[in-house]
Structure formats: C-alpha cells, structure tokens
Structure 1
Amino acid sequence: MSDQVKITCDELERDGFSQIPLFECIVAEVSEENKSKEGFTTVGYALYFYIYSTWKGRSMYLEDLYVMPEFRGFGIGKSLLSTVAKVAKEKQCVRLQLNVLDWHTSARDFYAAKGARDLTVEEGWHLIRFDGQGLDHLANEAPKN
C-alpha cells in the first residue's frame, strides 16, 4: 500500500522528534552480518501514540506494526507487540487499540492469537473518518473566535 503514503520524511521527523512528539516508535534491529538483502539492519518497527477514553482512561493506539517479509516468522513482530504492551502498562494505559484491514487475515489471526478482541463483531463499533473535503467542510462549520 505504498501508493497511499503521502507523508514526507521531514513531516515524520517533525512529528516524532519535536519537543512534544506526536508518536513514539520501537525498532527491531539485527546485527550487521544478518542485515537484509538491501543492506538494512533495522528490520521492523512499531509506531504508537497515546489516546484517551472517557469510559476507560489512558489508552494506547498502535498505528503500525511492520516486519520486513524476509524476517517474519522469527518472533520479531511478537517481540515488538509485547514491548509496546509493556510500555502501555508502564504508562498506566488500560488498553492497547489498533485497526486491521478486513482482508488482512494473517494479521487478524496474529493479533487474535495474542489475545486481541475484534470489537467489530463483538461490540459492533464502526471506524469513522473525516478527511479531505469532509474535514475541510466540517472545520468551516466551526464557530469563529
């Protein structure tokens, strides 16, 4: 889905490494002798940020969990996910939340095997988004200061 990526490296650096970062990231690295075919030693990452529930309190949202295909099946994804969960618990978050595309059954199975619940089926939640013209239109309806 690389065709859908619209963010620049500068924006990513600004948002993640400013005085008040909008996200945090954990990376998985391998030794130089085990680097990827392309020569990378960073082979995976988990990007997350904090959210708040008026029902439950502090929460964490996992935006991305990625492991390069040639490094999958070695427990790297599980380790990244477990580390994010540990950070969430250390920050007193009561839940870790994420979205998975309906067609991505291997990811859904992975999370389910780790104890995740599918709220789409269980509670009937729908993912709602405002973006583009919808976001512009909604913002233009806001009262003037």
Structure 2
Amino acid sequence: MASVRIREATEGDCGDILRLIRELAEYEKLADQVKISEEVLRADGFGENPFYHCLVAEFLPPPGEPQERRVVGYGLYYFIYSTWKGRNIYLEDIYVMPQYRGQGIGTRIIKKVSEVALDKGCSQFRLAVLDWNKRAVGLYKALGAQDLTEAEGWCSFRFEEEAMRSLAGR
C-alpha cells in the first residue's frame, strides 16, 4: 500500500518545492507574482542562516510498484516574534497537490509545524489564507485556529519593494 511521509526538506527538494509554489500560485490565481528561482530557494533555505524552513510530503509507492517517490505537498515556515507573546512560528505556505487532497496530508503538515513550534518554545502558530478559500478556512478552524479577522478585527498589510524603496529614500 502506498503511503505519504512528512519530512524536513533537503536542498535537493528545491526543484519540487518551486514546482509546488507555482502550482499554489496558479490555484490562488496569482501565478504572475512568482519571481523566485530554485537557486534562491536553495540559498535562502539551506545556507548558514536559513530564512525559512520547509516540510515536504513525499508519496511513497508500494514496494515493487514502478512509480517513484514524489513530493506531493509542502509547508514552508519561519520564525517571527511577538512583543506580547514572544516566539511565534509563521506558516507562509501549505499546499497539497489536488489528487492527494482529502487524505489528511495537509493536517499532518500542520501538526508537524505545531510540533516544531512547541519544540522551539513558540507560544503561537500563525498563518494567513485567502478569504475565498473556504475549504482551507474550514480546516484551520476545525483544527483549532482562531480567525483574527473575526475575533480581533486585524487587517493584514504588505509593503512591496517599490514602497520600501520610497520609504527608505532609494
């Protein structure tokens, strides 16, 4: 019987991670915004001071089957800091290929990120989701996540490079 294991990504997984990033961006109707390369992922995630960490979901075919192992999902996270609560973990992306959804893979990735957070002394695990992705919103709520938009009225903002250059006087 085939199985899926959740493991820490290695440098050799960067091609698969980029493939899945592009699939996620396509799903979110934002494919034109993906500018990252495999080389940047490798440098930023596997250098001396990584900017991110990543888990991959790897499909393991049954013994004797001609299929090969395949990365079918990922969860990319990093550590942030709350002035009120201290250490936090932020799950930037979580994605499972459509044909592998409904098997609990996304839940297993989230559980593994929770384990990492607790092992590192984090008090909170944060993530964001597009409001139209009702399936993901439902999953996160079912797993115990609190919707800060509803509960506390938080709005999420982002400064793009052009705005940062303007602010920095460059």
Instruction: Please give the TM-score of this superposition, normalised by the length of structure 1.
Output: 0.89
Deviation at 1:135, TM superposition (A): 1.1
1:11-63 superposed Cα distances (whole Å, 9 cap, x missing partner): 111100110001101111111459xxx96611111110000001000000000
Q: Secondary structure at the match of 1:93?
A: coil
For residues 63-142 of structure 1, what are the structure 2 equivalents within 5 Å?
63-140=92-169
Same amino acid, percent of matched pairs: 47
In the TM superposition, residue 133 of structure 1 has moved relative to its aligned partner by 1.8
- Tell me the secondary structure at the aligned position of residue 45 of structure 2: helix
RMSD: 1.7
Unmatched tracts of structure 2, length 5 or more: 1-24, 26-30
| CA spacing shift, 1:39–1:140, aligned 2, 3 Å | farther
SS at match of 1:60: strand
Deviations 1:108-139 (A, max 9, x none): 11101100011011101111111132111011
- Give yes or no for the alignment of 1:19 onto 2:19: no
Change (3 A) 1:78 1:139: same
1:10 matched residue in structure 2: 39
- Taking the aligned partners of 2:80 and 2:165, their CA distance within structure 1 comes to 23
Query: How far apart in 2 are the matches of 1:91 and 1:69?
Result: 31
Specify whether residues 118 and 105 from structure 1 end up closer, same or farther in structure 2 by C-alpha distance, changes over 3 A only.
Answer: same
TM-score normalised according to structure 2 size? 0.77
Whole-angstrom distance in 2 between the partners of 1:80 and 1:130: 29
Say which SS state the counterpart of residue 87 (structure 1) adopts: helix
Q: How many residues align?
A: 138
Following TM superposition, where does structure 1 have runs of at least 4 consecutive aligned residues deviating by more than 6 angstroms?
Answer: none
Q: Which has the higher contact order (CA 8 A, sep 6+)?
A: 2
Residue 3 (structure 1) shift: 2.5
> Are the equivalent residues in 1 in contact too, given 2:56–2:73 (CA < 8 A)?
yes
Question: In the alignment, which of 27, 42, 59 is matched to residue 88 of structure 2?
Answer: 59
Q: Secondary structure at the match of 1:74?
A: coil
Asked whether the equivalents of residues 78 and 91 of structure 2 are also in contact (C-alpha less than 8 Å), the reply is: yes
Match in the other structure for 2:3: none
The CA distance in 2 between the partners of 1:20 and 1:104, in whole Å, is 33
